[in-house]
Amino acid sequence: MNRRTFFQTFLAGTVASRLLPSTSHAQTTSAPSGPFTLPPLPYPPNALEPYIDAETMTLHHGKHHAAYVNNLNKAIATYPDLQKKSAEDLLQNLDSLPADIRTTVRNNAGGHVNHSHLWKTLKNPGEKPSGKLAKEIDQTFGSYDKWKEEMIKTAMGVFGSGWAWFARGQDGKLFIKPYPNQDSPVMEGANLIYGIDIWEHAYYLKYRNLRADYVKACLEVSLYSF
Ligand code: MN3
Protein backbone atom coordinates (compact mmCIF):
# COMPACT_ATOMS: atom_id res chain seq x y z
CA MET A 1 0.00 0.00 0.00
CA ASN A 2 1.52 3.32 -0.95
CA ARG A 3 1.32 6.33 1.30
CA ARG A 4 -1.59 7.92 -0.52
CA THR A 5 -3.73 4.80 -0.57
CA PHE A 6 -2.83 4.22 3.03
CA PHE A 7 -3.89 7.74 3.96
CA GLN A 8 -7.20 7.39 2.13
CA THR A 9 -7.88 4.03 3.73
CA PHE A 10 -6.99 5.45 7.09
CA LEU A 11 -9.31 8.41 6.70
CA ALA A 12 -12.14 6.12 5.73
CA GLY A 13 -11.49 3.89 8.70
CA THR A 14 -12.75 4.00 12.21
CA VAL A 15 -9.37 5.15 13.51
CA ALA A 16 -10.04 8.53 11.94
CA SER A 17 -13.16 9.07 13.98
CA ARG A 18 -11.15 8.65 17.15
CA LEU A 19 -8.48 11.11 16.01
CA LEU A 20 -10.56 13.83 14.46
CA PRO A 21 -12.20 16.17 16.94
CA SER A 22 -15.90 15.28 16.94
CA THR A 23 -18.58 17.90 16.56
CA SER A 24 -20.35 16.86 19.73
CA HIS A 25 -17.14 17.29 21.69
CA ALA A 26 -16.63 20.76 20.23
CA GLN A 27 -20.11 21.70 21.32
CA THR A 28 -19.67 20.58 24.87
CA THR A 29 -16.26 22.16 25.50
CA SER A 30 -15.83 25.77 26.52
CA ALA A 31 -12.88 26.23 24.13
CA PRO A 32 -13.72 28.32 21.05
CA SER A 33 -14.02 26.09 17.98
CA GLY A 34 -11.88 28.25 15.70
CA PRO A 35 -10.33 29.71 13.72
CA PHE A 36 -7.49 27.24 14.30
CA THR A 37 -8.12 23.51 14.11
CA LEU A 38 -6.15 20.38 14.93
CA PRO A 39 -4.95 18.76 11.69
CA PRO A 40 -5.53 14.99 11.65
CA LEU A 41 -2.50 12.74 12.00
CA PRO A 42 -1.63 11.62 8.47
CA TYR A 43 -1.24 7.99 9.68
CA PRO A 44 -2.56 5.83 12.52
CA PRO A 45 -0.91 6.47 15.91
CA ASN A 46 0.89 3.10 15.78
CA ALA A 47 2.48 3.80 12.38
CA LEU A 48 5.84 4.74 13.87
CA GLU A 49 6.17 1.69 16.15
CA PRO A 50 8.55 0.56 17.53
CA TYR A 51 10.38 3.90 17.35
CA ILE A 52 7.57 6.05 18.66
CA ASP A 53 4.78 4.24 20.49
CA ALA A 54 1.07 4.61 19.75
CA GLU A 55 0.16 5.87 23.21
CA THR A 56 2.70 8.68 23.00
CA MET A 57 1.48 9.62 19.52
CA THR A 58 -2.17 9.62 20.64
CA LEU A 59 -1.48 11.83 23.64
CA HIS A 60 1.01 14.04 21.84
CA HIS A 61 -1.36 14.77 18.99
CA GLY A 62 -4.79 14.48 20.62
CA LYS A 63 -3.97 16.18 23.93
CA HIS A 64 -0.82 18.29 23.67
CA HIS A 65 -1.21 19.62 20.14
CA ALA A 66 -4.97 20.00 20.68
CA ALA A 67 -4.27 22.09 23.79
CA TYR A 68 -2.05 24.49 21.81
CA VAL A 69 -4.85 24.91 19.27
CA ASN A 70 -7.50 25.46 21.96
CA ASN A 71 -5.36 27.88 23.93
CA LEU A 72 -4.51 29.85 20.79
CA ASN A 73 -8.21 30.12 19.88
CA LYS A 74 -9.00 31.20 23.43
CA ALA A 75 -6.26 33.85 23.44
CA ILE A 76 -7.57 35.55 20.30
CA ALA A 77 -11.29 34.97 21.00
CA THR A 78 -11.92 38.66 21.63
CA TYR A 79 -9.65 39.91 18.81
CA PRO A 80 -11.54 39.44 15.49
CA ASP A 81 -8.69 40.97 13.48
CA LEU A 82 -6.21 38.43 14.80
CA GLN A 83 -8.58 35.58 13.97
CA LYS A 84 -8.09 36.33 10.28
CA LYS A 85 -4.32 35.87 10.48
CA SER A 86 -2.36 32.66 10.02
CA ALA A 87 -0.45 31.21 12.96
CA GLU A 88 2.78 31.93 11.05
CA ASP A 89 1.72 35.53 10.62
CA LEU A 90 1.00 35.88 14.34
CA LEU A 91 4.43 34.44 15.20
CA GLN A 92 6.22 36.81 12.85
CA ASN A 93 4.50 39.85 14.33
CA LEU A 94 4.48 39.16 18.06
CA ASP A 95 5.51 42.74 18.88
CA SER A 96 2.35 44.09 17.30
CA LEU A 97 0.07 41.89 19.43
CA PRO A 98 -1.70 43.18 22.56
CA ALA A 99 0.72 42.73 25.48
CA ASP A 100 -1.73 40.64 27.53
CA ILE A 101 -1.86 37.82 24.95
CA ARG A 102 1.65 38.07 23.46
CA THR A 103 3.26 35.27 25.48
CA THR A 104 0.22 33.00 25.17
CA VAL A 105 0.18 33.45 21.40
CA ARG A 106 3.94 32.92 21.19
CA ASN A 107 3.69 29.61 23.09
CA ASN A 108 0.53 28.27 21.51
CA ALA A 109 0.83 29.47 17.91
CA GLY A 110 4.41 28.17 18.15
CA GLY A 111 3.17 24.83 19.47
CA HIS A 112 0.55 24.62 16.72
CA VAL A 113 2.96 25.47 13.88
CA ASN A 114 5.78 23.26 15.18
CA HIS A 115 3.58 20.19 15.69
CA SER A 116 1.62 20.62 12.45
CA HIS A 117 4.96 20.42 10.67
CA LEU A 118 6.28 17.58 12.82
CA TRP A 119 3.47 15.11 11.96
CA LYS A 120 4.07 15.63 8.25
CA THR A 121 7.76 14.83 8.50
CA LEU A 122 7.50 11.56 10.42
CA LYS A 123 7.22 8.35 8.47
CA ASN A 124 8.23 4.76 9.01
CA PRO A 125 10.70 3.87 7.66
CA GLY A 126 12.62 7.11 7.38
CA GLU A 127 14.14 8.29 4.18
CA LYS A 128 17.41 10.02 3.56
CA PRO A 129 17.29 13.42 1.93
CA SER A 130 17.44 13.27 -1.83
CA GLY A 131 17.83 15.59 -4.78
CA LYS A 132 18.62 19.26 -4.28
CA LEU A 133 18.26 19.17 -0.51
CA ALA A 134 20.73 16.26 -0.21
CA LYS A 135 23.28 18.29 -2.19
CA GLU A 136 22.73 21.36 -0.06
CA ILE A 137 23.14 19.30 3.11
CA ASP A 138 26.47 18.00 1.82
CA GLN A 139 27.57 21.53 0.95
CA THR A 140 26.46 23.06 4.24
CA PHE A 141 27.29 20.32 6.76
CA GLY A 142 29.88 18.21 4.91
CA SER A 143 27.77 15.05 4.60
CA TYR A 144 24.48 13.51 5.66
CA ASP A 145 26.22 11.82 8.61
CA LYS A 146 27.68 15.16 9.75
CA TRP A 147 24.21 16.70 9.46
CA LYS A 148 22.86 13.87 11.60
CA GLU A 149 25.61 14.40 14.20
CA GLU A 150 24.74 18.09 14.34
CA MET A 151 21.02 17.29 14.81
CA ILE A 152 21.84 14.88 17.65
CA LYS A 153 24.24 17.33 19.31
CA THR A 154 21.70 20.15 19.10
CA ALA A 155 18.84 17.97 20.38
CA MET A 156 20.94 16.71 23.28
CA GLY A 157 22.00 20.26 24.13
CA VAL A 158 18.48 21.62 24.62
CA PHE A 159 18.13 22.41 28.32
CA GLY A 160 14.60 21.68 29.51
CA SER A 161 11.79 21.74 26.96
CA GLY A 162 12.34 22.84 23.41
CA TRP A 163 13.20 21.80 19.88
CA ALA A 164 16.14 21.14 17.60
CA TRP A 165 15.21 22.61 14.22
CA PHE A 166 16.68 22.19 10.77
CA ALA A 167 15.36 25.07 8.71
CA ARG A 168 16.02 27.44 5.84
CA GLY A 169 16.58 31.05 6.83
CA GLN A 170 15.27 34.09 5.02
CA ASP A 171 18.71 34.36 3.42
CA GLY A 172 18.16 30.94 1.83
CA LYS A 173 20.81 29.23 3.97
CA LEU A 174 20.22 25.97 5.84
CA PHE A 175 20.80 25.90 9.57
CA ILE A 176 20.36 23.74 12.68
CA LYS A 177 19.54 25.54 15.93
CA PRO A 178 18.02 24.83 19.35
CA TYR A 179 14.83 26.66 20.35
CA PRO A 180 13.40 26.89 23.88
CA ASN A 181 9.76 26.07 24.72
CA GLN A 182 7.59 26.33 21.58
CA ASP A 183 9.69 29.01 19.92
CA SER A 184 10.06 28.33 16.23
CA PRO A 185 12.32 29.34 13.33
CA VAL A 186 9.06 30.66 11.81
CA MET A 187 9.37 33.58 14.26
CA GLU A 188 12.44 34.67 12.25
CA GLY A 189 10.70 34.14 8.93
CA ALA A 190 12.54 30.85 8.31
CA ASN A 191 10.99 27.80 6.65
CA LEU A 192 10.77 24.64 8.74
CA ILE A 193 12.28 21.52 7.23
CA TYR A 194 12.67 19.07 10.07
CA GLY A 195 12.42 19.30 13.86
CA ILE A 196 12.99 17.06 16.85
CA ASP A 197 10.59 17.73 19.72
CA ILE A 198 12.58 17.69 22.96
CA TRP A 199 9.66 18.08 25.33
CA GLU A 200 9.40 15.13 27.69
CA HIS A 201 5.79 14.62 26.51
CA ALA A 202 7.28 13.51 23.19
CA TYR A 203 9.23 10.58 24.64
CA TYR A 204 8.96 10.00 28.37
CA LEU A 205 6.36 7.18 28.29
CA LYS A 206 8.66 4.96 26.25
CA TYR A 207 12.15 6.34 26.67
CA ARG A 208 12.00 7.79 30.20
CA ASN A 209 15.27 9.67 30.77
CA LEU A 210 17.00 8.16 27.73
CA ARG A 211 16.76 11.19 25.49
CA ALA A 212 19.63 10.05 23.27
CA ASP A 213 17.76 6.86 22.32
CA TYR A 214 14.65 8.88 21.50
CA VAL A 215 16.62 11.34 19.36
CA LYS A 216 18.17 8.47 17.39
CA ALA A 217 14.72 6.91 16.98
CA CYS A 218 13.39 10.19 15.57
CA LEU A 219 16.09 10.13 12.95
CA GLU A 220 14.89 6.64 11.93
CA VAL A 221 11.30 7.70 11.26
CA SER A 222 11.84 10.99 9.54
CA LEU A 223 11.00 12.02 6.06
CA TYR A 224 13.24 14.78 4.84
CA SER A 225 12.61 14.63 1.13
CA PHE A 226 9.63 16.87 0.70
MN1 MN3 B 1 5.37 18.23 21.47
Provide the pLDDT for residue 108: 98
Instruction: For residue 221, report the distance from its CA to the centre of ligand 1, in Å.
Output: 16
Instruction: For residue 115, report the distance from its CA to the centre of ligand 1, in Å.
Output: 6
* Span of 13-27, 31-45, 155-169 with lowest mean pLDDT: 13-27
Express each pLDDT in 174-202 by its tens digit.
999 999 999 999 999 999 999 999 999 99
| % of residues, the chain, pLDDT over 70 | 85
In a domain, 192, yes or no: yes
Instruction: For residue 65, report the distance from its CA to the centre of ligand 1, in Å.
Output: 7
Instruction: For residue 201, report the distance from its CA to the centre of ligand 1, in Å.
Output: 6
Query: Contact 122/3 with Cβ under 8 angstroms?
Result: no
* Span of 31-40, 78-87, 96-105, 166-175 with lowest mean pLDDT: 31-40
In a domain, 39, yes or no: no
Indicate if the pLDDT at residue 109 is higher than 70. Answer: yes
Phi, psi of 195 (to 5 degrees): -130, 150
DSSP string, 116-159: HHHHHHB-SS-B---HHHHHHHHHHHSSHHHHHHHHHHHHHH--
Query: Contact 109/72 with Cβ under 8 angstroms?
Result: yes
Instruction: For residue 118, report the distance from its CA to the centre of ligand 1, in Å.
Output: 9
Distance of alpha carbon 221 from alpha carbon 47, whole angstroms: 10
In a domain, 202, yes or no: yes
Q: How many domains does the chain have?
A: 1
Instruction: For residue 119, report the distance from its CA to the centre of ligand 1, in Å.
Output: 10
Indicate if the pLDDT at residue 127 is higher than 70. Answer: yes
- Distance set, CA 7 to CA 3, 82, 128 (Å): 6, 33, 21
In a domain, 26, yes or no: no
In a domain, 60, yes or no: no
In a domain, 135, yes or no: yes
In a domain, 61, yes or no: no
Instruction: For residue 182, report the distance from its CA to the centre of ligand 1, in Å.
Output: 8
In a domain, 34, yes or no: no
Instruction: For residue 139, report the distance from its CA to the centre of ligand 1, in Å.
Output: 30
Distance of alpha carbon 115 from alpha carbon 207, whole angstroms: 20
Range of the domain at 178: 131-221
CATH number reported for the structural domain that contains residue 153 in this entry: 3.55.40.20
Distance of alpha carbon 179 from alpha carbon 226, whole angstroms: 23
Instruction: For residue 114, report the distance from its CA to the centre of ligand 1, in Å.
Output: 8
